[in-house]
Structure formats: C-alpha cells, structure tokens
Structure 1
Amino acid sequence: MTTRPFPRLLRRTLLAAGIALAATVAVAQTQAPVRIGYQKSSTLIAVLKAQGALERELAPLGVKLTWHEFTSGLPLLEALNLDNLDFSADVADTVPVFAQAAGAQLTFVAQEAPSPTAQAIVVRADSPLKSLGDLKGKKIGVAKGSGGHYLLLAALDKGGVPLKDVEVAYLTPADGRAAFEKGAIDAWVIWDPFLSAAQRQAGVRVLADGTGIASYQRYYLASTKFAQSRPDVLRVIYAALDKAGKWVKSNPREAAELLAPVWGLDVATVEQANARRSYEVRRVVPAGLGEQQRIADAFFAEKLLPRRVDTLQSALFQPIR
C-alpha cells in the first residue's frame, strides 16, 4: 500500500486554498475605498469631484473613493497622519512643516507653482492702517498653520514689527470672516476663494499680499503607507490633477460656473479667485522645497514649532512616471 496520493492531494488542497486566499486579499485591496481629504480652497480636487472624473479614471483599477472636507490644511494633514485619510488635496506650504515637526509619515506627491497674490492681509476699507508697520499693537486673525500664518510672520518681519507686539487670534476662515465683519479683529490674513469673497462682499482693502514676501505654493500629499502600497493610484491622481489645472486656466468662465454652486459663491467671485492661482501641477523634487526651510526656521524662531525641522531630511517624494 502506498501513501503518496494523500500528500499530493493535501498539497493540491493547500495550493487551492492559498490561491483563493490571495484572490480574496486582492479583491479586498481593490475594493477598499481611497479616502481623499480636501478643503474649500482645493480647487482642482473640487473640479474633479464635481465632474466625477477621478472616479472614472480610477475605475479600471477597481478603486472607489470617499470624500472628506476639512476647514483648513492643518486638521487635514493631522487626519492623514492618523491614518484617517489616504490622500490630501492641496494644502499651503506652511502646513507640511507643522506635520513634519510632529513626526508625520507623509509623502509629497505634487505641488502647484507659486500663487503669491492668492493670499493677503486685509483690513476694512475705512481702516486707518496703511502699512505693515501700522499692525503694531493690533489684533490679527489667521488660521493656525495655514499659508496665511507664514505670510503674517514674513510680513511683520518686513514691516519691522516683532510678533510679540501684535495679538494673534487663531480663527478658521468662517470665524475669521465673522470676527472681521464685527470689528473684533483689526486685520485678517486669508486666502482664496475666501479672499475674493471678502473683497467683493465685505468692503475690504488689501494691506499686503504675498508678492515679494511669501510665494504660496500648495502641496498634495499621501500617507507614506498608501504611497508605498498604491503608486498606481497616485499616478492616476497626478495625471488627473495636471489635466484639471490646465482645463481651469484654459476655461476660466466654465470652471467658475462649475465651482460656484459647489462653493456657494457667485461666478464672478470664483473667476477672480481662480485668476490668482497658478494651478500648474508639478512633481515635487528636493530643489523645489527651498522656501520650506525658511518657513520652518521662521516658525521655530517664534517657538511655534516644538522642534527644529530639516525639511529635506524629513521629506519623502513620490516618483511619478
């Protein structure tokens, strides 16, 4: 009597079970939704979401999406670091610095070319404040960790006003608008499309924008775990962002008409906001992060970061081919 058929049968059974398990895992991976975080200023993601374009582009990969809106960039990247998101739509250049200081495992996927006029320090039209030096002793509203936060630091430095000589109120865009209109703050640092809405609706005057002060680049990031496991998804997202950016700049009126109901703003306001953003999507390379170190050093010098950040050493880059 021979016992050889039993081991062969066992091997075949185990092999079949292994194949079935691998197939189950593969299906589970392809069916797991990709969680995308964004904010109101995430224009290109808003376009792709409204058009359903990203879902169509990712359908061949078996990928489904879930969308999660945040009030500003800092809580968005905090969610990414806590593994509550896979991909973050664009955040201002300041935001990754705060995340890096907290030890976040994030990977840079793309950046937008500078848009310095798309954020500004504004005052009421009848305000006596005429120069950056006039901000001394005043109360200024800004979202903590936003691009506007760095604009404030750099503008005060240019105006010769120490940060300790102003009162900073950390406010979300909505709260900042309310405080500004009530006169609870003397100046407000804000970005588009909120900036354009305030200019057209609230009677504001720009005291200074980012020209010559802060270039205002915006970054798209992914959790490092997701970047390593799904580079195929990130390649599709990058291509879609690049295409959307070119479409917005080539079709300003049509883009504004698409976004106006999404943002709850009128078409003219959206068109004005979009005119100040570059929407030029680029790969992120070390040479393109020069201003990031200046931002990190400025915040550390004011004791607004818990530790000094070497922005290049703590940066990971997603190769897009």
Structure 2
Amino acid sequence: MSPEETPDPGGLEPERAPRAVHRPVLIDEVVAWLAPREGSILVDGTAGAGGHAAALARRVGDSGRVVAFDRDPEMLELARKATAGLPVSLVHAPYSAMREKLAGRGIAAGEVDGVLLDLGLSSDQLAWRHRGFSFGSDGPLDMRFDPTSDGPTAADLLAESSAEDLATAFFEFGEERFSRRIARRIVETRDAEPLTTTGQLAELVRRCIPGKLRHGPIDPATRVFQALRILVNDELKHLDAILAELPDILAPGGRAAIISFHSLEDRPTKWAFRNDPRWTVLTKKPVIATAEETAVNPRARSAKLRVAERWSNQEPTPTPTSPST
C-alpha cells in the first residue's frame, strides 16, 4: 500500500487500467519472514492487486492455501487476475472479520500459519479519480474502501461534522498543525459552496496554509486527505480489532507480518507485539526497504515491516538474516 503523497499516475478509470500499477513493497522480506511451506495456510488481510498473495501462494503448493481479504471489490478484481491458477481464495470483507470469515471456509482459529497485513492505500486506488482518494486529479469526494457499502462518504462527513470533530480528526489522524483553521473554513463555507470534489477540498486546504509553507515537497492537502480517509473507513478501529484477534487466529509458531506507512499504524502494531505475552517479537527494529527497492519503487521508502511469532512450546524456527527469493 501507499502513503498519500504518491503522485497520481494519471487518474485512470478502472476499465481503462487493464493491469495493476501497484508494486507490492518488501515482497522478498515478507516471503522470507512468513516462510511459507508446502501445505501452509496463509492469510493476506489486504489483498490489494494480489502481488503478495501470488508470491505466497507459489510457495504453499497444491496442498496449501492462501485466503486474501479486501474491502474494495475493484482491487479484488485485480487480485483475481494476479492469482489466477494459484491456490488463492478471495474474500470481499475487511480483515477485522478474518476470524469469522475463515471459520465459514472451514479454517478454525489456531490453524493459520501466517498472516500478512499491508496497510494503507494502493497506487491503483489513488489512480482511480472516481474513488476520490487523490488530489492529483479532480474527482468526487468518496474515499470509501468499499464503495458498495452504505457508509458515509468523505463529502458526507465534511457536510455533517462539526468544526470541532473535523479539527480533531485532522489533527489526530493527519497530524495537521492548522487543523482548527481548516475545519473552521470548511464549516464557514460549506453552506454556500458544498465540498463535493477532491479539487475543491485540496484548494480550500491550501488557502488555509500560510504562504511560505505551501511550497514544500509534500502538498499541503496531504495530511487532511489522509485523515479524512482514515475517518471514512474507520481504519484504526479495524486495525485494533485484528491486532486483538491475531494470536487466536494463528497456530502456535505461526507468524504475523504487518507493513505500515505512518506512525498511526506502526505504534499500535509495535505495542501489540511487545505487550501481549502470546507474541515473540522477531523484528526488534522494523524492516525497511533496501536502497535498490526504493530506487525502483519510491513508495517503499516509508514502509515498515514488523513480524511476530505466536508463542509455542516448541523451539523457535530460525529467523532469516536476509530475504529469500
């Protein structure tokens, strides 16, 4: 997945994007740490375009299984193409529903050998202007990971929320220092000019930022867009829910690998791994992308991979010192 400052690669509609543009980050490292074997049962909680799921499925053989979740039906279509012919089952559901959905497919709690979560947003979602994730091209302010749901869109929340609630969200989820100023401007102007497009919101935010701070490496609208997306999709609530359940989902000796892109995702992951006695932390420091990977995939520069193993009485399996291929 990708942080919001990734440039919009053209705003292609999904029907005009026959192949995925997203490159899975830290893919060699994920395979090395999860160490899939013939017959393994693995779960990719964030299927995206299917890159990680396909790489893992190639290692589990015909007797193994990869179950891949995603809230976004359009991403699942890309994943379907990437995993064709491989032992992968695709599930349209949030990863927080993992335990329930696995049970419905005959996989009981405690039977999973490895779980991957690649958090955040994919380049494909950013590229689709009709989804409203990117301010690189104008589109409707939707931002729902699942556009088939009846949950509020970003435009709905901007129209209905109080200035205080918006300011809190911009500050807590986006670390936006001008959160109150931006929230007041939204409330003051929304009756006369409802915010319905990404271009409108981005321009409003930019006008709220002092002139000397508008011209930096990151667009001033980045933090507000991140905060609004997290709010629309309840991302941190879903993350907290799955962190609490992962130890029960995994078999003894099973591993969880979580890739985060900002501190709001990384902090709860780090805390859960270090403070739950059912975990053995395998990555004392987060694994980051190599210079070679960031050179060809700049999105990887902010990725952090943490891995923990479900405690067992058995001797721990050797941990890798370098990615396997």
Same fold (TM over 0.5): no
| Higher RCO, Cα 8 Å, sep 6+ | 1
Structure with greater proportional strand content: 1
Structure with greater proportional helix content: 1
Which structure has the larger Rg over C-alpha atoms? 1
Normalised to the residue count of structure 1, the TM-score between the two structures is 0.30
Normalised to the residue count of structure 2, the TM-score between the two structures is 0.29
